[in-house]
Amino acid sequence: MNNPTFSYVLLLFLLIFTCLREIIAKAEEADTKLYIIYLGHKPHDDHELITDSHHDILGQVIGSKEEGKKNMVYSYRHGFSGFAAKLTDSQAKQIRELPGVIRVIQNQIYKTHTTRSWDFLGLSKSDPNNLLNKTNQGDGIIIGVVDTGIWGDLEGFNDKELGPIPSRWKGSCKSEANFNATKHCNKKIIGARWYIKGLMEEYKLNQTMAEKSYNLSPLDEDGHGTHVAYTAAGSYVNNIQYYGLNMGTSRGGAPLARLAIYKVCWINKVDGETYLGGADALAAIDDAIKDGVDIISASIGFNGRVFSEVDFESLFGIGSFHAVSHGIPFVAAGGNTGPEPNSIGNVSPWIITVAASNEDRDIVTPLTLGNNNTILAQEIFQGKNQAFAPLLVARDVTNKEELKSIVKEVKGKVVMIFLEDKKDVLFYLATLNNTGVLALICVTPPLEQNTDFNQLIGVPIPFFTVDVEQGTQILDYFQQCKSNNQDPMIKLGQTRVVEGNEVFQKVAKFSSRGPNSFAPDILKPDVAAPGVGILAAAPPNKGNNGFQLMSGTSMAAPHVSGIVALLKVAHPDWSPAAIKSALVTTAWNEDTCTYEIYSEGTNNLANPFDFGGGISNPNGAMDPGLIYDMDKNDYLNYLCTLGYKNDMVQNATSYFFDTKTSTICPKEVPSRLDLNLPSISIPNLKNSIIVRRTVTNIGDVNSIYKLVVKPPKNTAIKVNPNVLKFNSNTKKISFEVEIISTYQRKSNFNFGSLAWSDGKHFVRIPIAIVNTQYNGVRPIALINDSVEESAARGYGRGRGRGR
């Protein structure tokens, strides 16, 4: 047929068909989301075969194995088995029904949780008998840091005192993009990887768009990861000058340990915000397990609803579970959303969750009011003492336009503004420049207090920050003067470093608080460590002279990671649970300190929901006497209390269990209250309840420990036995704790402690109890559960049964 009209019509039809296919394909791609398919333990060590099996599974719902390969983003095959892939909602639903699939989880977006501190913790280099020196400063340990990358070309990461890289190390450090491995890696920083595929899929970025928005390499331009890595294991740097202040010598907690960097957090070059995809974090943890790290330190957390650990909805929970199953302690920041209750994150029982306290040093600038009250502001004033000057509180300035309206009033005055967004500071300073203003005071909300505003030193206007409580004091004074027709005045003092008894010990206001909103019978946080005004290494575009002050639980967590590195040298046979127990039971608290520890923002003394067992005590943790260890039965029982089917628990825990039986969980579901944690938390005590714990003696073989108990308010406690006698044949002893309610009305949590003492050791665990019923936020574990379902999940059944 040579009909030209027919040929044109056919050609037009083919063009339309092709265009429609492309439109449909793009629409389907636009509808896809990144999902993580979790398959539990890896069945063998043939990693290529594992990935091939992932392609097979994905091909069953995509249409073909080849299409499955195209849609796969990550194959997790080292520490566990699973993959991340682009799926539509219907495909995700299909794959959820396939045999062997434990959980299908949509990608989650996380965020970072943003010296003298080591002397404060008792780890001075000058003391030959402390944990630091007895463990050769952590030599041989490899700490994996999951964060914003590294800027390694700093004196803080020199390798002058380090020997060869441990032969067991399997990781790598390669030059790529703007990251020069010769400059940024050495015998201190021995590995550097980066992960962004998950984030790219979440925001539908192609390679060109990603390169435009992010610097695709392990290089840290944000500063957070560099600061965290240095805090954990930075090298010695002497005679540090920080904006004119002599800060002496600085180092990390384990200065001879090595660092492996896993960049999963990305600062956007356009909006300046930091982003992280959960699929990327999971890939980093999987690689860290393969590479051979000894510890994983993660100063990041999920921004949103708190999911449970191997409730299998938390990607961090899954990754940390498999890290711990390989004997790798997992240390994580608790979050910066305090002081509100129920705000603590990273709540898995196998994670060491860290709160932020201060240290016994602070850098302050005194601001003296006309009534002679003095406010200690943050940031550094490089000028001399000033005479009293007029104070203007621009309370009604809530936007940038209103600020412009008062510029004619500020000449010769100190102005205070309530800050809503840290990014507005530069605008405020630019607007007030050349107006004759003497200084700017910004009142910062808790979430903004982890920012180092000292970077603004050098701008023409002296600049200070105060917290909301301090700002309120200044505002009250200002309003009182105005009501009495007086002129409010203020004087700027000279910045000074205060140390020792001049600094009150406290848990920082921003530090997230318990109770654990998912499972309040798992007490969180575990411990606290310094996280306020921590001086550590910084990229050239941050801080001053290679260092920066930062605050946040992000800074507290690597303190604990450094301590754990030292403990791993001292006790290489300890399990992650044993290490956590040693930290919790020896921590400084109201029972073991000669000074009081406050909860900033609540006007109370700190309790276990502020700091768990207390502030970390490294030297005590080296020799705890007794430990609350966890074995495979503890992990099994815990997973069973979450209500999962036998096959799911079996797949997730077969690393622990060599079993072919179909029944893993017992018919009578055990109680989470009996999980052998170094704490007791009972969210619903009606009459009485019995919980059990087991301690292992790691001190003197022949030891006798006597009970020391402080019952929480409105309770009585009986312990059987109340004396523990250890010898060469008896190394473990179990005991029962009966807690009796003496108050039958509703109450909030009350706190106490239980300790064992042999005269040398004081092995203390915190207790938190609600009488009758907790009338605060309902635990997520109980939402949509009937009474029977709640019991099946581990409340009020098994050995920890209510009576």
Which residues are tagged catalytic? Answer: 147, 224, 554
Distance CA(354)–CA(357), nearest Å, equals 10
Give the CA angle between residues 645, 648, 650 to the nearest 5°: 105
Q: Is 602 left (phi over 0), alpha (psi -120 to 50) or beta?
A: alpha
Amino acid identity, residue 61?
V
Distance CA(544)–CA(536), nearest Å, equals 11
Count of alpha carbons within 13 Å of 151, Cβ hemisphere only? Answer: 20
Q: Is the peptide bond before 166 cis (omega within 30 degrees of 0)?
A: no
Amino acid identity, residue 707?
L
Q: Are 610 and 599 in contact (CB under 8 A)?
A: yes
669-682 burial, b for 16+ CB within 10 Å, e for fewer? Answer: bbbbbbbbbbbbbb
Residue 146: CB partners within 8 Å, gap ≥ 6?
Answer: 262, 264, 281, 284, 285, 288, 296, 297, 298, 300
Distance CA(589)–CA(596), nearest Å, equals 8
Count of alpha carbons within 13 Å of 517, Cβ hemisphere only? Answer: 17
Distance CA(41)–CA(59), nearest Å, equals 21
453-482 burial, b for 16+ CB within 10 Å, e for fewer? Answer: bbbbbeeebbbbbbbbebbeebbebbeebe
Distance CA(42)–CA(47), nearest Å, equals 9
Distance CA(361)–CA(354), nearest Å, equals 20
Distance CA(223)–CA(610), nearest Å, equals 27
Beta bridge partners of 352: 331
Q: Token pair for residue 729?
A: 């044949």
Q: Token pair for residue 317?
A: 């929970």
Query: Beta strands of 382-486 (E only): which ranges?
Result: 389-393, 414-418, 439-443, 463-466
Distance CA(520)–CA(681), nearest Å, equals 7
Distance CA(447)–CA(421), nearest Å, equals 10
Q: Tell me which DSSP letter residue 176 carries.
A: B
Q: Is 716 left (phi over 0), alpha (psi -120 to 50) or beta?
A: beta
Report CA-CA distances (Å) from 530 to 511, 560, 758: 11, 9, 30
Q: Token pair for residue 463?
A: 């600049």
Q: Token pair for residue 441?
A: 């005071």
Task: Name the residue among 506, 407, 514 with its Cα closest to residue 461.
Answer: 407
Q: Tell me which DSSP letter residue 711 carries.
A: P
Residue 395: CB partners within 8 Å, gap ≥ 6?
Answer: 418, 475
Distance CA(39)–CA(31), nearest Å, equals 24
- Tell whether the torsion through CA atoms of 511, 514, 517 and 523 is positive or negative: positive
Runs of H (alpha helix) within 508-625: 553-570, 576-585, 608-611, 618-622
Distance CA(121)–CA(209), nearest Å, equals 46
Compute the radius of gyration of the chain from its Cα atoms: 28
Task: Name the residue among 655, 658, 585 with its Cα closest to residue 623.
Answer: 585
Q: Are 274 and 264 in contact (CB under 8 A)?
A: no
Distance CA(54)–CA(114), nearest Å, equals 36
